[in-house]
Copies of this chain bind each other. A is one copy, B any other.
Amino acid sequence: MLPGKKIATLISVNTAFMLAVVKLIGGVLTGSVSVLASAVDSILDIGSSTVNYFAIKQSEQPPDNDHRYGHAKFESLASLIQAGVITLSGLYILYEAYARFESGKAVKSIEGGIWVMLFSLAVTFFLVIFLRKVAKKENSSILKTESLHYEIDLLTGGGVLAGLVLVKVTGINAIDPFISVLIALKTVYSALVLGKEVSEDLVDKALDEDDLKKIHGVLNQYNCVIVGWHKLRTRKAGTEKFADLHVQVNRHLTIEDAHTIADMIEKDIAETLGGADVQIHIEPCEGECAHKACTLCDTEIRNEINRLKSK
């Protein structure tokens, strides 16, 4: 029996914790900077898997009095802080590598380092297999990202291993800090990409072109019952999408019919975006608007509404 999404991320957190401890001890005992850098990477994995755990937990939480738009942005905020910490850790690895180049100290026990990395690679390999299975079963995008994240760790871990083997074969100690520099740069880069992404959420960036086109598409379908629309605003919080807009209808409509149209559009936009919070402000057309919707009589509009409903 495969466990659920939340349990899967908890298993990730515990695996990352175990690997971090093994690599930290291994890195200090063997004196290998690249193993130490890999330990820092695992510490960050604890962080990111924890964020994913809470993201999954939060997404199940309803809005409360203090947060009427839900809690999804807590995830973005946590990710931003995490990105800051990851950046600092990357800079710390660079500093350590620099100190090693300067001092020219050798790795104390290459064999020890190799064993630590072999163990870590094996554990990560089984974690990836496990995460992929749960992600497939639950069709969860967060778990797919999580699994991808650990696949990349397999690559960097393989790099560290290859570096240590090369040091053993060639006797060139500088290979060890050099590999740690590569890991540091990759770490800082990932952190900055993550930081930029969640920042866009936090400053209420509009949805991307694809989503906007989908919204326009839905609105076009309602051409025959609405006069026009404007002031479309969109933003998102984690996986939650928000949209609000003004829709103009024939000014002789009753509020009941106008509201039916608004609710149908809201539902359609939400569906086409794969779930969204849509808020429509209904307005009457001004003066003698020549648009089709305004020349239809009430019965015709009701027929149109029924036709759209039955689609």
Contacts and interface: CB of A to CB of B under 8 A. Distances in A.
A251 interface: yes
A175 interface: no
Given A84-B84, A259-B282, A262-B281, A67 B253 contact: no
A287 to B, nearest CB: 12
A235 interface: yes
Interface stretch (A31-39, A72-80, A121-129, A184-192): A72-80
B69 A204 contact: yes
A299 interface: no
A68 B65 CA distance: 25
Contacts of A210: none
Instruction: Give the copy number.
Output: 2
Contacts of A109: none
Interface in A72-118: 73-74, 76-77, 80-81, 84
A280 B80 CA distance: 33
Contacts of A69: 204, 233, 235
Q: How large is the interface on A (under 10, 10 to 19, 20 to 34, 35 or more residues)?
A: 35 or more
Contacts of A282: 255, 258-259, 281-282
Contact of A205 (B66, B204, B235): B66
A151 interface: no
B280 A281 contact: yes
B244 A279 contact: yes
Interface string A49-72: 000000000000001011111110
A239 interface: no
A203 interface: yes
A252 interface: yes
Given A249-B255, A254-B255, A282-B282, 12 more contacts: A66-B205, A67-B206, A68-B232, A68-B233, A77-B203, A84-B84, A204-B237, A253-B255, A255-B284, A259-B282, A280-B281, A281-B281
